[in-house]
Amino acid sequence: MAMAAAAGVDDLRRIGAHETLMLEPELRCREALLSPSTGIVDSHALMTALLGEASAHGAIFAARSKATRLTRRANGWGVHIDGEAEPTLVARNVINAGGLAAHRLAGATEGLAAEHVPDIRYARGVYFTYAGKVPFRHLVYPVPVPGGLGTHLTLDMAGSARFGADVEWIDTIDYSVDPARGARFLAAARLIWPGIDPDRLQPGYAGIRPKIGGPDAPVADFRIDGPERHGLPGLVNLFGIESPGLTASLAIAELVATRLGVDGP
Ligand X SMILES: Cc1cc2nc3c(=O)[nH]c(=O)nc-3n(C[C@H](O)[C@H](O)[C@H](O)COP(=O)(O)OP(=O)(O)OC[C@H]3O[C@@H](n4cnc5c(N)ncnc54)[C@H](O)[C@@H]3O)c2cc1C
- Residue 128: burial class (beta carbons within 10 Å; 0-12, 13-18, 19+): buried
Residue type, 22: M
242 makes contact with ligand X (CB under 6 A)? yes
Residues 186-205 that bind ligand X (CB under 6 A): none
The residues with which 33 forms a beta bridge, in sequence order, are: 2, 14
- The letter for the amino acid at 143 is V
Strand-pair category, 31-35 with 161-164: unpaired
* Dihedral angle sign, alpha carbons of residues 27, 31, 36, 41: negative
Instruction: Round to whole Å and give the CA distance between 178 and 82.
Output: 33
Site mask, ligand X, residues 23-62, x = CB under 6 A? ----------------------------------------
Q: How far is the CB of 91 from ligand X (least distance, A)?
A: 13
| SS3 category, 49 | helix
* Amino acid identity at 174: D
What is the Cα 109 distance to its own chain's centre?
Answer: 24
Q: Nearest to ligand X by Cβ — which residue?
A: 245
Q: Where are the alpha helices (DSSP H) in 150-248?
A: 182-192, 227-230
Residue 18 or 44: the one with the smaller Cβ distance to ligand X is: 44
Cα separation of 139 and 156, whole Å?
10
Residue nearer to ligand X on the CB measure, 30 or 44 = 44
- Does position 258 interact with ligand X (CB under 6 A)? The reply is no
Segment lying near ligand X (by CB under 6 A), choices 14-22, 26-34, 99-107, 175-183: 99-107
Size of the site for ligand X (CB under 6 A): 21
Minimum distance, C-beta of residue 96 to ligand X, in the bound complex (Å): 8
Q: Which of 131, 246, 250, 262 binds ligand X (CB under 6 A)?
A: 246
244 touching ligand X, by CB under 6 A: yes
Which residues from 126-185 bind ligand X, rule CB under 6 A? Answer: 165
When asked if residue 208 is in the footprint of ligand X (CB under 6 A), the reply is yes
Query: Closer to ligand X at the Cβ: 21 or 36?
Result: 36
Binding site for ligand X (CB under 6 A): 66-67, 97-101, 105, 125, 165, 207-209, 238, 241-247
